[in-house]
Amino acid sequence: MSQAVRWVDALSLDELWEGDIADVELDGEPVLLVHLPGGSIKAYQGLCPHQEVLLVDGEWDESTGRLLCSGHRWEFDLRTGAGINPAGCQLYQYRVAVSDDKVRVGIAQDGLSHHHRASSSERAQS
């Protein structure tokens, strides 16, 4: 059974160049867009799972695909959404489609929050 998704226009490709990250709010949800070197575009929750700091304010290294959160220096691989430090943490990933030079993000219509939070033990590590 496929889950209902609402496709929302986020940005144009002119607004999200290769190697850039951007923060957008879509259907009331903060979303981090990433245009990875090589052309792939990803969309993740826009807030850090640790203490809900905006991820777009972090230090982005496009050559490694790593983002270091400005809050408490949690690190994520934006090629996969996986936590590097601490390991085991995962960013919520949205579906992405590009058509007519527009980046569109699929927002699941399941009534749930699309934001992973770190467990109490992961938050205590910082």
Domain boundaries, the chain: 5-111
Span 16-37, average pLDDT: 95
pLDDT for 120 beyond 90: no
Cα dihedral sign, 13-69-48-53: negative
Higher-confidence residue of 118 and 92: namely 92
pLDDT for 1 beyond 50: no
- Domain 5-111 = CATH 2.102.10.10: yes
| Helix, strand, coil fractions of the chain, as percent rounded to 5 | 5, 45, 45
